[in-house]
Amino acid sequence: TDRKKLHTAPVGQVFRLRPFHVLVATGGGYAGYRKYEDYKLEQLEKRGIEVPVKLASEWEVALYKSVPTRLLSRAWGRLNQVELPTWLRKPVYSLYIWTFGVNMKEAAVEDLHHYRNLSEFFRRKLKPQARPVCCLHSVISPSDGKILNFGQVKNCEVEQVKGVTYSLESFLGPRICTEELHFSQAPPGNSFQQQLVTKEGNELYHCVIYLAPGDYHCFHSPTDWRVSHRRHFPGSLMSVNPGVARWIKELFCHNERVVLTGDWKHGFFSLTAVGATNVGSIRIYFDQDLHTNSPRYSKGSYNDFSFVSNNNKEGIPMRKGEHLGEFNLGSTIVLIFEAPRDFKFHLKAGQKIRFGEALGSL
């Protein structure tokens, strides 16, 4: 006959699933389940009920890391740069404003039609007087956000949230050459924490600030200091919201991050911008060589760059409140610095804070 023969493959071949698809589906489903659990925990916290710490097991962390968050974040970044039709901008941005509680009255440009794409809207600037910089205190908040934790660093461990810690050395990486930072040489055999403290009578302090998607996305210099060195850790891009930070130990050590290291009048000072899901892009304004969330990713690697050269012995001087960098969505800022023992934080864990407000002083 003239009829064409129809060849059919076995049902098993048609519906055959590849390992990658299984990992993505399973990991994505589990990530969704964790989001639901985080929501329930937040509701309990709002009611004043203390939530016991329950850390993820190794297989749970491995399953979460199997989700291609780096690829998804790059795709999200490209989507954010697509120019929206003028008629679509107000509905899209209004939905985002309603969802995350964005205060557009603080924006330098309130007209939603002005922002050509989501990326421009995320990185919107504020009115000049929207965030007055506190002059009475030595350290201010570098960004808007929520205080997850703060205090003294003890036993080379830093708390990302109450009861959940990470290693100071794993987070910052090996100690930078003392000649570059103009620090005195620490006696051999001292712990990593003791090596960072350069002056007798000082202690090491930390502060963790979580930026939600609705927050102002730029970050600024928290004090007068000079930046001598940048260390970039490629890594995972897991969520860093408080629920996940309470669940995964050393979350900040797993994720991609940019560590800026230098010194201020009391000794060692560092600011670290931690990446997260859909926040693969971390920009430092004075560092044009930095490229985050690159497709080339070597697990456990890091790369260094020195801002101290033969022509510039002082590094990059930063004034308190000066623009330093930006995220493309919300993420986390971690400050680790040296200060005298009488340094006091003016904070409460869980409080909302805005850029320019006081973190602490002597």
Active site residues: 144, 220, 331
246: tokens are 């309470």
Name which of 263, 273, 271 is nearest 206 in CA terms: 271
225 DSSP 8-state letter: E
How many whole angstroms from its chain centre is CA 266? 25
Name which of 141, 136, 169 is nearest 155 in CA terms: 169
Integer angstrom CA distances of residue 17 from 14, 22, 69, 71, 289: 9, 7, 21, 20, 41
Residues with Cβ within 8 Å of residue 303, at least 6 apart in sequence: 231, 232
Residues 133, 241, 237, 214: is their CA dihedral positive or negative?
negative
How many whole angstroms from its chain centre is CA 12? 44
Residues with Cβ within 8 Å of residue 238, at least 6 apart in sequence: 64, 65, 69, 244, 248, 251, 254, 255, 276, 277
d(CA 267, CA 178): 12
- In terms of Cβ atoms closer than 10 Å to its own Cβ (0-12, 13-18, 19+), residue 313 is exposed
Query: Are 124 and 109 contacting, i.e. CB atoms less than 8 angstroms apart?
Result: yes
